[in-house]
């Protein structure tokens, strides 16, 4: 018989609905039962695309004997970390304190009835291996400790709660103390961990770190520091040429298991593909390299082909596994590749994508990466570059068609507002850069669906699936959606988008701001009471909600002239500046906000005839200008704030403003181009 998870919207929870485990979703009823019966809670946190979550489920949660032990000894609660990032943040932090090592998924936490964790781990095998105890034995030992060592556990829990509270103690700074020192120290820290050979930061496993790459490109734009630019571009090239990028189907996997971007952990997540799409568009603006444009285009194609939901918006992720094997959908046997292609196609593709080399996945399969540049392949084969390009495209099309016939990885088709916001932002930005109206249309359709379905009576909801929107939205949902709306406004101004952005900003101020200490809590003031209320400024896999909030309040203040938004950005920086100053690593999103506070973005307002506005917008978007906000407004746009309501002209008037100071309007592009070239640069910079 299916358990209680059958009624949940999360595909991850539904994957466990047929387990013999008596699972509960996280709910008050389960917590009350644990208190009433004085039973410990086994909390299992994971997500649908998680490979080791599947392994633990197959080994233990699907096993009737293991399930019987779980049901007898514990109240068992299953949580989708994507739907409940509040719980995941709290218990990942607690795990790091208890276990003194990093967390991950699946996260396995044993709680006292009041929700305090007293023992934790990640994956546990059914039988002892990997220097880990067998899960059934562990269950018995944990329960025995709970029944015989309650006083020690209660004392530990008090200490843990106090430690969690201390971890969020951040102090405050006066705005007069703000300097660019944390920006310089962060850049130096990134340089110290930079992989000079392959790009990226640190060793294996290697993650993309989009927020750090964005920060480095902005450093270059502001200071002309080529070292910052080159770190970002080398990383983007390494990922584009590696196996972390799906060379056939587009889109990026979550991380590389090696240090040279070759073999990914094959799951694809929406949340990092959105920022990477924007970054590759920016890299193309800076360099004009076809590689960057090609990766941006294929990533957008993948999103629209495989992740777009019928109602509007985007699914969350694609699984790493198919047919219970990690990567099976993506890797190849050499014989199958040869069978699909003619001789020239095979020779070109095998040289270019590494099939001519020894197998690189589990010593028997090939996963494609750019092993030899196509120019080198053409030279080796004695053909022209054009012939090699044509043969490669034919080969890619044939292999993609063959791959489409395989059993596909599972898709988690719930919509998450924060992850959708990251993709909306990426699509809208790339649409501006490449002039792709279809990408902008997909972004605005997603915005409209969220506003229509998940914005209810002035409250934003976090997730949607199968006709049901639910769960309080978090800080990240609001801040990232405002950022997406600001980007969409620059790609194609719609009055309702600015109104939506202001409404969301007001909710953040009313329902999330720490009025005493500055910054924003991760959860609303009326959210359920948990053992801890996070307020973090660090970037993780996603950018920091406080960092993005500080950015968007600053930008929204400049777009609307609302000083209360500028003040909110400043208060957020005040709250986190001491921590940034002490150790800037991990604060890239807040660092961008600090940079924009020290050197506010310029605002360009284009007013004029609809027939000529698009050409001016295209020219403005044709260069990398991260410190510029630009909007193109025909004469009849209603409800403009005064800062945007500039006089229109028969052709185009361009108003370039910094703070409250605007230059005389430009009516000719060459003069405006000269003025734009100077923005965001300190005096004396090239």
pLDDT digits (tens, 9 = 90+) for 55-106: 999 999 999 999 999 999 999 999 999 999 999 999 999 999 999 888 999 9
pLDDT at 171 over 90: no
pLDDT at position 191 is 98
pLDDT at position 277 is 98
pLDDT at position 406 is 98
The token pair at 588 is 């890239």
Rounded average pLDDT over 347-355: 98
Question: Which band of pLDDT confidence, cut at 50, 70 and 90, is reported for residue 680?
Answer: low
Query: In order of start, what are the domains of the chain with their CATH numbers?
Result: 4-167 (3.40.30.10), 183-190+198-322+412-598 (1.50.10.10), 330-405 (1.10.10), 602-677 (no CATH)
pLDDT at 184 over 70: yes
Nearest to 505, CA basis, from 480, 488, 487? 480
Question: Which band of pLDDT confidence, cut at 50, 70 and 90, is reported for residue 470?
Answer: very high
pLDDT at 169 over 70: no
Rounded average pLDDT over 226-241: 98
pLDDT at position 432 is 97
Lowest mean per-residue pLDDT among 69-83, 169-183, 196-210, 438-452 = 169-183
Rounded average pLDDT over 434-438: 98
17-64 pLDDT per residue, tens: 999 999 999 999 999 999 999 999 999 999 999 989 999 999 999 999
Average pLDDT, the chain: 96
Rounded average pLDDT over 381-387: 98
pLDDT at position 681 is 59
Cβ within 8 Å of residue 90, ≥6 positions away:
164, 530, 531, 532, 534
561-620 pLDDT per residue, tens: 999 999 999 999 999 999 999 999 999 999 999 999 999 999 999 999 999 999 999 999
**Cα atoms in the Cβ-side hemisphere of radius 13 Å centred on 369:** 25
User: DSSP letter string over 608-649?
Assistant: E-TTTHHHHHHHHTTS--TTEEEEEE-TT--S--TTT-PPP-
290-303 pLDDT per residue, tens: 999 999 999 999 99
pLDDT at position 549 is 98
User: Apex CA 119: angle with CA 153 and CA 257, to 5°?
Assistant: 160
H or E element in which residue 75 lies: strand 75-80
Question: Which band of pLDDT confidence, cut at 50, 70 and 90, is reported for residue 5?
Answer: very high
Report which DSSP code applies to 408: P
Question: Which band of pLDDT confidence, cut at 50, 70 and 90, is reported for residue 686?
Answer: very low
Who wins on pLDDT, 229 or 659?
229
User: DSSP letter string over 423-477?
Assistant: HHHHHHHHHHHHT-HHHHHHHHHHHHHHHHHTEETTEEEEEEETTEEEEE--HHH
The token pair at 409 is 């990885």
pLDDT at position 365 is 98
pLDDT at 685 over 50: no
pLDDT at position 650 is 83
Q: What's the rounded Cα separation, in Å, for the pair 428 and 303?
A: 13
- pTM, two decimal places: 0.96
498-536 pLDDT per residue, tens: 999 999 999 999 999 999 999 999 999 999 999 999 999
pLDDT at 682 over 70: no
Rounded average pLDDT over 250-261: 97
125-152 pLDDT per residue, tens: 999 998 899 999 999 999 999 999 999 9
């Amino acid at each position: 018989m299916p358990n209680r998870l059958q009624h949940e919207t999360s595909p991850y929870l539904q994957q466990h609905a047929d387990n013999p485990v008596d699972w509960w979703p996280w709910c008050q009823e389960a917590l009350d039962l644990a208190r009433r019966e004085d039973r410990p809670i086994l909390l299992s946190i994971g997500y649908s695309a998680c490979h080791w979550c599947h392994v633990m489920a197959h080994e233990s949660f699907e096993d009737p004997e293991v399930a019987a032990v779980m049901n007898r000894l514990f109240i068992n609660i299953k949580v989708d970390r994507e739907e409940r990032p509040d719980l995941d943040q709290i218990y990942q932090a607690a795990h790091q304190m208890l276990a003194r090592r990093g967390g991950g998924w699946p996260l396995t936490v044993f709680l006292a009835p009041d929700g305090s964790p007293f023992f934790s781990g990640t994956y546990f095998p059914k039988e002892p291996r990997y220097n880990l105890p067998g899960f059934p034995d562990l269950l018995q030992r944990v329960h025995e400790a709970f029944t015989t060592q309650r006083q020690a556990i209660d004392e530990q829990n008090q200490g843990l709660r106090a430690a969690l509270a201390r971890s969020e103690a951040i102090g405050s700074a006066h705005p007069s103390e703000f300097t660019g020192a944390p920006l310089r120290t962060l850049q130096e820290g990134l340089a110290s961990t930079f992989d000079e050979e392959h790009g990226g930061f640190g060793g294996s496993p290697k993650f993309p770190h989009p927020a750090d790459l964005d920060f480095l490109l902005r450093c270059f734009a502001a200071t002309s520091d080529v070292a910052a630019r080159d770190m970002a571009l080398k990383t983007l090239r390494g990922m584009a040429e590696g196996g972390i990028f799906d060379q056939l189907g587009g889109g990026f996997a979550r991380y590389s298991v090696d240090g040279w971007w070759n073999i990914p952990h094959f799951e694809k997540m929406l949340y990092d593909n959105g920022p990477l799409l924007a970054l590759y568009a920016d890299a193309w603006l800076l360099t004009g390299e076809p590689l960057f444009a090609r990766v941006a285009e294929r990533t957008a194609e993948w999103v629209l082909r495989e992740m777009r939901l019928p109602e509007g918006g985007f699914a969350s992720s694609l699984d790493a596994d198919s047919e219970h094997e990690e990567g099976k959908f993506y890797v190849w046997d050499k014989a199958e590749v040869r069978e699909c292609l003619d001789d020239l196609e095979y020779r070109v593709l095998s040289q270019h994508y590494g099939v001519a080399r020894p197998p690189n996945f589990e010593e028997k399969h090939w996963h494609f990466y750019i092993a030899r540049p196509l120019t080198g392949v053409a030279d080796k084969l004695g053909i022209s570059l054009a012939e090699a390009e044509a043969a490669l495209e034919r080969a890619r099309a044939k292999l993609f068609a063959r791959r489409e016939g395989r059993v596909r990885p599972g898709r988690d088709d719930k919509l998450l507002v924060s992850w959708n916001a990251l993709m909306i932002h990426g699509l809208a930005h790339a649409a501006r850069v490449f002039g792709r109206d279809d990408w902008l249309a997909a972004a605005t359709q997603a915005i409209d669906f969220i506003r229509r379905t998940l914005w209810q009576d002035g409250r934003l909801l976090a997730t949607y699936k199968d006709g049901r929107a639910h769960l309080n939205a978090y800080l990240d949902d609001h801040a990232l959606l405002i950022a997406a709306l600001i980007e969409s406004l620059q790609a194609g101004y719609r009055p309702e988008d600015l109104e939506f952005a202001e409404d969301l900003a007001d909710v953040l101020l009313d329902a999330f701001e720490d009025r005493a200490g500055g910054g924003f809590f991760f959860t609303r003031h009326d959210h359920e009471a948990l053992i801890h209320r996070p307020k973090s400024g660090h970037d993780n896999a996603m950018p920091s909600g406080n960092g993005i909030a500080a950015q968007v309040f600053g930008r929204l203040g400049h777009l609307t002239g609302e000083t209360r938004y500028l003040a909110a950005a400043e208060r957020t920086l005040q709250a986190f500046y001491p921590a940034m100053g002490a150790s800037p690593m991990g604060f890239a999103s807040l660092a961008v906000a600090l940079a924009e506070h020290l050197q506010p973005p310029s605002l360009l307002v284009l007013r004029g005839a609809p027939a000529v506005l698009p050409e001016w917008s295209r020219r403005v978007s044709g260069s990398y200008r991260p410190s510029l906000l630009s909007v193109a407004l025909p004469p009849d746009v209603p409800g403009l704030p005064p800062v945007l309501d500039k006089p229109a002209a028969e052709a185009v008037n361009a108003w370039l403003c910094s703070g409250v100071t605007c230059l005389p309007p430009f009516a000719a592009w060459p003069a405006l181009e000269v003025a734009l070239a100077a923005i965001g640069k300190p005096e004396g910079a090239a």
